[in-house]
Structure 1
Amino acid sequence: MQTKSTHSFEGAGLSCIRDDRVLFEQLAFELLSGQVLLLEGKNGSGKTSLLRILCGFREPDAGAIRWCGDAIKDSSFYAQMAYVGHLDGIKKELTVLENLKMSLALNSPGRYSIDQALSKVHLSGYDDVLVQALSAGQKRRLSLARLLITENVLWILDEPFTSLDRQGIALIETLMIEHCANGGMIVLTSHHDIALHNVDVLTINLS
């Protein structure tokens, strides 16, 4: 179960070069439990590249990333982090339930059971439905349901509101507020104006 213990996520002097072009340099931040880091910027400004660096998928061209004071490779970072990218990261040939069971088998259990998570994202009764039969919005909500059933303090989300209607957007905002209230932290990109009441939102603009 996720607790309210204090965690910190820090970037110091981060730089990224792509195709001989500097996307950003000397970027720094410190994110603590209960906070959200919002990455803003136009297309091509380096938001997704920064997310990949923060996830540890690629090395920064300069700088360091630390989890609770230690380099991410020397810490429990990967066991505490969950990433949801542009693609939903779910298996279309499997059912809703099979996807969540697979995710749970690879991670420690979180605050919610599978049934509770499906109820939270308004997918109750879809257990045996093949993912390929879901709408784009339902697939997005299923991908986010994986966050609820596993114990991950840090959520890193690339455009989490993609394919969601107003109700879906409000739902995800509520889940994010709840995650932070329980000691979690979030890094995200979004073209949507987020409404996270009573949450400390830090912003980095890469434009």
Structure 2
Amino acid sequence: MLQVRDLRCARGGVPVLEGVTFDLNAGEALILRGPNGVGKTTLLRTLAGLQPPLDGTVDYPEATGAYASHADGIKTALTVTENLTFWAQVYGLTVPDTVFAAFDLDGLRSRAAGTLSAGQKRRLGLARLGVIGRKVLFLDEPTVSLDAFSVRNFAGWMRDVHLAQGGCAVIATHIDLGLDVPTLDLTPFVAQADATGGSDEAFL
């Protein structure tokens, strides 16, 4: 479903990772590890097609990928239900009723998103993944602002819904999600700096 070969990517024109290679089949996920500044966000953005690679290839079926950063990306003037309906309609879909329970939003359906707590906003942002119908997910620190209960809920949705229904995911996270999936430490793939180059780790 997702094939990555000898990928070399950069931020601000400076190479940060090189030689990244892996495969994911339907129902599989991969956790990205590495210290801050190693290039996890840069890799995810490159995989998602938000920036071009310097070299190498990324292959997955057209119009199946979605990228979610650690920003919530919600519309504060809309209710929880209206937010999810908006995103479902963008993709020509309807909101599955199960998504509210999956992300612990049942009691918040009519609440304006702007009145939610940070954790509630995060759950709403993640719930968008359950309505857009994309099979290949690229997730950057998806559990920021979530308590332990909500982290377990997210991991349960990822395992029992997204992966079980044939999706795949690449997830950058510093915490243990409780998913029985492989990890990829990006440290060995850090690009070698050239003689004139520097680092732009502040932007990774």
**d(CA) in 2 for partners of 1:195 and 1:124?**
24
In the alignment, is the contact (CA less than 8 A) between 2:102 and 2:154 conserved in 1? no
Unmatched tracts of structure 2, length 5 or more: 188-204
Aligned to 1:168: 150
Aligned to 1:150: 132
**d(CA) in 2 for partners of 1:163 and 1:32?**
30
Where is the strand percentage greater, Structure 1 or Structure 2? 1
- C-alpha deviations, 1:51-74, integer Å up to 9, x for none? 00011000011111111xxxxxxx
**In structure 1, the residue corresponding to 2:155 is in which secondary structure?**
helix
**d(CA) in 2 for partners of 1:164 and 1:196?**
16
Q: 2:80 aligns with which of 93, 96, 106?
A: 96
Alignment RMSD: 1.6
Displacement of 1:119: 1.8
Aligned to 1:84: 68
**In structure 2, the residue corresponding to 1:82 is in which secondary structure?**
strand
Structure 1 residue 194 and structure 2 residue 174: aligned? no
**d(CA) in 2 for partners of 1:37 and 1:153?**
14
In the alignment, is the contact (CA less than 8 A) between 1:108 and 1:151 conserved in 2? no
In the alignment, is the contact (CA less than 8 A) between 2:122 and 2:146 conserved in 1? yes
| Equivalences for residues 34-183 of structure 1 within 5 A | 34-67=27-60, 75-76=61-62, 79-109=63-93, 113=96, 115-178=97-160, 179-183=162-166
**d(CA) in 1 for partners of 2:178 and 2:52?**
32
Aligned to 2:19: 26
Displacement of 1:20: 6.2
**In structure 2, the residue corresponding to 1:125 is in which secondary structure?**
helix
Displacement of 1:44: 0.6
When residues 174 and 66 of structure 1 are mapped into structure 2, their CA distance, relative to the original with a 3 A threshold, is same
Aligned to 1:14: 7
Aligned identity (percent) is 38
Displacement of 1:84: 1.5
In the alignment, is the contact (CA less than 8 A) between 1:9 and 1:30 conserved in 2? yes
In the alignment, is the contact (CA less than 8 A) between 2:68 and 2:138 conserved in 1? yes
TM-score by length of 2: 0.85
Equivalent AA in structure 2 for residue 96 of structure 1:
V
**Which shifted more, 96-105 or 122-131?**
122-131
**In structure 2, the residue corresponding to 1:150 is in which secondary structure?**
coil
TM-score by length of 1: 0.84
Equivalent AA in structure 2 for residue 170 of structure 1:
R
**In structure 2, the residue corresponding to 1:30 is in which secondary structure?**
strand
